């Protein structure tokens, strides 16, 4: 789409005019949703802070809310962001920062349109919390890299077309240095995805086996051996995506027990009332902190503060879901949905209290364990002395496993 605005970044009024032009050309009431989304991307209204030609207009990140509000009011279709959350929240910002021009053109458009689902191949059975100890190998073979290894706890691997992958390319250097970052084709015949059944009964996560998977060097992201630095961009964005999403007052899990409290006076006790009030205040404080974090993000890349948001998100979800089960009494103990399902996304709001209680246990593991995030906050936010790390300078091949 030809550029129609001035060379300076558009302001809120300019963006509203662009939205009006989009709606005039593609009436949401009659337009095919896929065609509408393509037109939105080409108009630079997908993510306005991205460069022109890549779904954006080089506008301030904060102005995305203006576009979203206008389109929502018009009843425009969205790109089902929960289904493609890993692509939007983790793969896209990493590709934008470290990808070549060709990689950005190839991957960002179908990613945002939801035509290609992404997953994250980071964690391993022997290197979960200590991600830098990963053992999956990538060996150069001409213009390709041959991958051998296993990944675990991979959300959406059974749906994904592409994956962000880190693998060890040099075992002779310390663990943080010999890692390289790749974009992996999940349809490669060497990729095997197996379901992991969870405490909820469903299989939302997977383990992934990589046997002779060939990745062209053109699908490497960043320099050889610089994968740890590239991965930090992914991880910081992941923690913001998990713990820093925009929600209205009394949004998220806290709204569910609060609604039950108002609707069912027979459930009320003084003790539960005090706990509900305390959690409501904490949830509201976390919501406002998330708004402040998003304002900081508008000025640059995510920092370690996102780890604190993810920490609060995990703890609050677990305490709120436990309170809801208690509030419901005997009803809260019922859970009969043990079907072995392969969901496209986590559905906290659309399930019962028992599901929420069980599923929230994973919040303190996924996206970085709470123990690791506590260290990040202590060292990189508060400036406290780091924990002793005796293996930091040892070659990876000499580490005890």
The per-residue pLDDT for range 91-104, each reduced to its tens digit, is: 999 999 999 999 99
Evaluate whether residue 157 is within a structural domain.
yes
CB atoms within 10 A of CB 132: 20
8 A C-beta contact, residue 14 and residue 5: yes
DSSP 385: P
Structural contact between residues 135 and 126, judged by C-beta atoms closer than 8 angstroms: yes
Residues 338 and 358 in one domain: yes
- Give the three-class secondary structure for 147: strand
Give the mean model confidence (pLDDT) for residues 148-159. 94
Q: Which of 204, 224, 244 is the last residue in one of the domains?
A: 224
Domain that holds residue 66: 12-78
Q: Could you read off the pLDDT of 167-213 as tens digits, one per residue?
A: 999 999 999 999 999 999 999 999 999 999 888 888 888 999 999 99
Supply angle C-alpha 2, 99, 139, rounded to 5.
Answer: 150
Out of 204, 238, 305, 319, which one is annotated catalytic? Answer: 238
Q: Tell me how many degrees the CA angle 229-191-203 measures, rounded to the nearest 5.
A: 90
Strand boundaries in 197-347, DSSP class E:
205-216, 220-221
Pairing mode, strands 179-185 and 162-168:
antiparallel
Tokens of 205: 């996560």
The CA distances from residue 229 to 113, 176, 307, 358, in Å, are 28, 9, 17, 34
Confidence tier at 296 by pLDDT (50, 70, 90)? low
- Judge if 307 and 367 occupy the same domain: yes
Burial (Cβ within 10 Å: 0-12, 13-18, ≥19) of residue 92: buried
Q: For residue 206, give the nearest of 155, 148, 131 by alpha carbon.
A: 155
Q: Quote the CA–CA distance of 206 and 250 in Å, as a whole number.
A: 33
Assess whether 238 carries a catalytic annotation: yes
pLDDT tier, 277 (very low <50, low <70, confident <90, very high otherwise) = very high
User: Could you tell me if 249 and 216 lie in one domain?
Assistant: no
Rounded to an integer, what distance in angstroms lies between the CA atom of residue 314 and that of residue 309?
9
Task: Count CB neighbours of 223 within 10 A.
Answer: 12
Residue 109 CB: number of other CB atoms within 10 A? 18
Same-domain pairing of 29 and 162: no
Q: Is the pLDDT assigned to residue 6 strictly greater than 50?
A: no
Same domain, 341 and 371: yes
Assess whether pLDDT exceeds 80 at residue 297.
no
pLDDT, tens digit, 9 for 90 and up, residues 318-339: 999 999 999 999 888 887 666 6
Same domain, residue pair 356 and 283: yes
Please report where in the chains the tokens 């490669």 appear, as a residue: 188
Which residue, of 46, 61, 78, is where some domain finishes?
A: 78
Enumerate the β-bridge partners of residue 309: none
Q: Model's pTM, two decimal places?
A: 0.86
**373 and 236 both lie in a single domain:** yes
pLDDT at 84 (0 to 100): 94
Q: Are residues 185 and 304 in the same domain?
A: no
Between CA 136 and CA 376 the distance in angstroms is 25
Q: Bigger pLDDT: 352 or 345?
A: 352
Greater confidence (376 vs 97) lies with 97
């Amino acid at each position: 789409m030809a550029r129609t605005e001035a060379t300076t970044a558009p302001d809120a009024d300019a963006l509203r005019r662009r939205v009006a032009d989009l709606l005039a050309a593609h009436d949401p009431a009659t337009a095919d949703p896929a065609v509408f989304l393509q037109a939105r991307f080409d108009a630079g209204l997908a993510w306005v802070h991205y460069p022109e030609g890549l779904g954006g207009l080089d506008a301030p990140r904060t102005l995305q809310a203006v576009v979203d509000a206008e389109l929502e009011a018009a009843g425009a279709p969205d790109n089902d962001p929960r289904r493609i959350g890993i692509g939007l929240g983790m793969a896209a910002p990493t590709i934008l920062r470290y990808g070549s021009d060709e990689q950005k053109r190839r991957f960002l458009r179908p990613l945002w349109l939801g035509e290609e689902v992404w997953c994250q191949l980071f964690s391993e059975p022997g290197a979960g919390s200590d991600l830098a100890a990963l053992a999956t190998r990538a060996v150069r073979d001409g213009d390709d890299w041959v991958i051998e290894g296993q990944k675990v706890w991979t959300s959406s691997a059974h749906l994904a077309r592409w994956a962000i992958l880190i693998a060890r390319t040099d075992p002779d250097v310390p663990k943080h240095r010999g890692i390289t970052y790749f974009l992996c084709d999940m349809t490669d015949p060497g990729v095997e995805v197996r379901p992991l059944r969870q405490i909820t009964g469903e299989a939302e996560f997977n383990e992934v086996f990589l046997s002779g998977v060939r990745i062209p060097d053109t699908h490497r992201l960043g320099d050889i051996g610089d994968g740890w630095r590239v991965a930090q961009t992914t991880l910081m964005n992941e923690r913001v995506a998990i713990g820093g999403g925009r929600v209205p007052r009394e949004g998220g899990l806290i709204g569910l027990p609060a609604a039950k409290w108002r609707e069912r006076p027979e459930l009320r006790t003084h003790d539960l009332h005090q706990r509900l009030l305390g959690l409501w205040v904490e949830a509201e404080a976390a919501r406002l902190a998330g708004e402040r974090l998003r304002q900081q993000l508008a000025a640059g890349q995510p920092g370690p503060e996102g780890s604190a948001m993810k920490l609060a998100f995990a703890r609050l979800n677990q305490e709120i879901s436990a309170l809801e089960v208690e509030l419901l009494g005997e009803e809260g103990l019922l859970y009969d949905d043990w079907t072995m399902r392969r969901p496209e996304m986590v559905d906290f709001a659309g399930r019962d209290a028992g599901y929420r209680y069980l599923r929230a246990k994973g919040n303190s593991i996924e996206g970085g364990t709470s123990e690791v995030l506590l260290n990040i906050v202590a060292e990189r936010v508060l400036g406290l002395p780091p924990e002793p790390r005796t293996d930091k300078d040892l070659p990876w091949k000499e580490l005890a496993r």
